[in-house]
Amino acid sequence: MLSVRAMSNEPTQIEGPPAIIELPGGESITVPLPPGEVPAYAVLPALRALVDAMMQRVKNASAERGETITCRAGCGACCRQYVPISDMEARALAALVEGMPEDRQARVRARFAEAEARLREAGMWDRLTRGGRVLAREHTELVVNYFHLGIPCPFLEDEACSIHPDRPLICREYLVVSPETHCAKLERTKIKRLAAPQTSTALHVMDAAHNLENYNVFPLVAVLDWLRRHPDEPERRTAEAWINHFGLAMQARFGDSVEMVTGPPPGASEEW
């Protein structure tokens, strides 16, 4: 289980004192945390660092097996897949858009609008944006139908991620060692995805607060719409409390440790 402890002997920085986040397997990383009580999305930089550290272990193990990761800038196939987003990541992405220069912001907002129009035309928008869990029985059909619409992520530019340092956790966890042509056609039985900790799903559990059965999932392309319809000020806690809450969410989702999985977590099928 994940845990966090502050390094009280270090001087306080503007962004708050550094903290040690202990990873499954006995390793740890040191990250700065924001001071005071903050919304959950304020700790996303720490969670990104955590996921990056865990994925580095996945990459190292893959290299030891002699595998070559085929993901690269210029191959945007996965950027046309259904990307499930949590409320906390939605707020961070919306803030990112809001802080862009006016001309770039206009282009990105236009892509969001185009994605919405395409999904409305296909009759998929209402289902995708109503929130709630996506159950196993509808997940595969939804993912396949979404992909065949060919809707690019609004942040995709020149077939590369234009917000790579701030990309969602699920994007960080997606690496393949199979030819990119399989991804381009969504040939799911031929895509060889690296075994990775599905830490991104814990964010949805965090959103549910005290009711672990009541969390929302919606696609990245609906982020701006979601925030327009949910403008309420998010809950605030200390950064240490949010990190520990993330650890509890991981435990609720996976058990006592972070499992390395290629498919859906035990008992969850392909449910979000």
- 59-68, 124-133, 162-171, 229-238: which has the minimum mean pLDDT? 124-133
Residue 260 within a domain: no
d(CA 18, CA 93): 24
Residue 43 within a domain: yes
> What is the number of other CB atoms lying within 10 angstroms of the CB of residue 113?
14
d(CA 106, CA 33): 32
Residue 262 within a domain: no
Residue 78 within a domain: yes
d(CA 162, CA 165): 9
Residue 191 within a domain: yes
pLDDT score recorded for residue 268: 37
* % of the chain residues with pLDDT over 90: 37
Mean pLDDT of 219-225: 95
Residue 76 within a domain: yes
Domain coverage including residue 212: 3-254
pLDDT in tens, 63-122: 999 988 888 888 888 899 999 988 899 999 999 999 999 999 999 999 999 999 999 999
Give the confidence band of 255 by pLDDT, cuts at 50, 70, 90.
low
pLDDT score recorded for residue 259: 33
Total number of domains constituting the chain: 1
pLDDT score recorded for residue 256: 42
Residue 259 within a domain: no
pLDDT at 12 > cutoff 70: no
Residue 144 within a domain: yes
